Structure 1
Amino acid sequence: MSDHQPRVGFYTHYHGMGHKHRTEAILQQLSIPATVITSRLHQLDWSGPTLTNVIGIDCDNDDVPVRGMQHAQEVSALHHAPLWTDSITRRVAQYTRWLDKTRPDVMVVDVSAEISMLTRLASIPQIVMRQHGRRDDPAHLAAYEAAHSLLAPFPESMEDDITPDFVRDKTIYLDGFCRQQTIESSNQTQRTKSKRERPTIVVMFGRGGTGDVHQHLRDAATLVSHADWVVLGKDDDSNSGRTPANLFFAGWQNLPNQWIANASVVVTSAGHNCVMELGHVQCRFIAIAEDRPFEEQIRKAKVLGRERLAIGLTAWPAPSQWPTLIDEAMSLDPSPWRNVFEHDGAEQAAKHITEVAHWSHEARMSRELLTL
């Protein structure tokens, strides 16, 4: 790559699909080539045409000895630092070797406190992606302090009340963006829904992990029997109980667009990607927080409820609550989502990354000229 062009790197975390989808959305708007660094390439499809290069490094969760894991959280400024783990030793060497060889002008870290600190120690500027959740622990605060700037993949109206002031001051707030922005318009969706006699409630699960909720679904469908319930992302578990006639398991759906477009209400987790996809089409939905580190989905569910963007729940409700919850969801006004998606957040992110890359590149080149 020419020294006249900035060099951008993305560290993209390997858990679930949300980090990958966010990176892909930004890369589609980025006008300068970028390299993605990640782990577990065999689990994720990185064949998109927008990428210049994808490099795999060892995973920090593979082959960790039991005795080593006992020391994993001894360092307050790091979330995961087990001892005697060869894969982590290789991972650190692979990452820093690539930094030394490539000399990116900026790294976008989404997300890892350890990668953030390694990047700063290697003297490379970085932009750290924020997430909802209680992120006031020493490791998160150190990563935020080490960053040139922070990107929030949500507008300031969706900021959490508990976020420290210095984090807010360092944050570039983005309008909404998501992987799927091609679902039919809300007007067409409303015309389709109005033709049906029975409401359709779509329950959508992603790949980020969830507990066994089949009994929750059977109870909900039984108590809200005037609606048809369709479950995406899970298969029927009929061996453990009788499935009501109005409950249908559609299995995994790579593109759930049509199901979402025809839904009267969607029930989903409070994961960022699915929340933004539903908000983009101004869907009425119930977001149920799943157990995640740092209360990520619990805090997001609270923000959604506070802003009346969705019915936000911190846990699965008691069966008797479902009729009221569905009625409340049906009465939501989805129009505030227009403000969230007023502009393209991925384009805004790409613009900021480009500006920081040029700033860093000019500073680095000036430093090299001074040393000639």
Structure 2
Amino acid sequence: MPHRWTRHAAFVCVALFAIVTLPAAAKDAPEKPVLTMAVGGLPGLYYLPVLVANQLGYFKDEGLDVTLEDFAGGSKALEAVVGGSADVGAGAYEHTIFMQAKGQHYRAFVLMGRAPQIVVAVTKSKAGSIRSLADFKGAKVGVSAPGSSTDLVLTVALRKAGVQRSDISAIGVGSGATVLSAVSSGQIDALSNVDPMMTKLQRAGEIKVLVDTRTVKGTQDVFGGTMPAATLYASESFIQKNPKTTQALANAIVRADHWLQHASDADLVKMVPKAYLLNDKALYVEAFHNVRDAYSPDGLMPVDGPATALRALSSFDTQLDPSKIDLNATYTNDFARKAATLVK
């Protein structure tokens, strides 16, 4: 009899445990486990945290099945999010400001980059006539895509040198191997772009670097403060309807941010798809070290970041009225803070 009672009690305990734990598990499950993320140039080191989260299974660990849709630049990825073909965007923080100015509400919810990682350079063939930014008038300048962050950094840097955006011709050249062909064919006189392509061109002596925002210090020299760069962002309605999904995405990216702070060169090369290594592992590693300082260590938006971005964007788009922008509505640190308690 006692033995029979013990078995019955054990069964009751297991049943009660299941009743208690199942709702908790359901509570943590993402509302939208299958989703699409638009990325503005996945081969670029600018988006390396997204690649890390995907390659190392961090999205899957959070119960997410994420399809990465790659685009030539951040502005093209934004179009996909706004158009509804992608649920979430991986792109520059300033897109959220730009969209608010248009009356559309998007919010960055986890930071990947605390510096733009963008280099402005002149090609070797034009280095004699274009010695500084002040000489860019009339130049054909390659950017990943017009309206993208490569265009923004270029515009801000040029205006400091007294050159207006209308004084140049901006040409979209992507951020992958198309950059190399644009330089070698003479299609462009100068370019504003990201690594690893800029390190490859620099190493080969094909460009002369004039502006470098691959480090926090270099970024502060250009923008006068911390300039937040790559983020994950989504519409306000998506975040409100899918808070668990948003949290899961933030968890994966903060985990990737942490990984990048400590990854060895061997870890990096093992993680990156061969197609992205440009058949030169040493070059890729060199490029990574050139930009390593630019990655966020914790996914949190820096205190002075939004205001710096607003100044830059209002310089880029003179029709944007800074007084009409509510910066607090363009980002949130809530998800990254919670992610920090879960990621070790």
TM-score of the superposed pair, with normalisation by structure 1: 0.26
TM-score of the superposed pair, with normalisation by structure 2: 0.28
Using CA pairs under 8 Å that are at least 6 residues apart, name the structure with larger relative contact order, 1 or 2: 2
Richer in helix (by share): 2
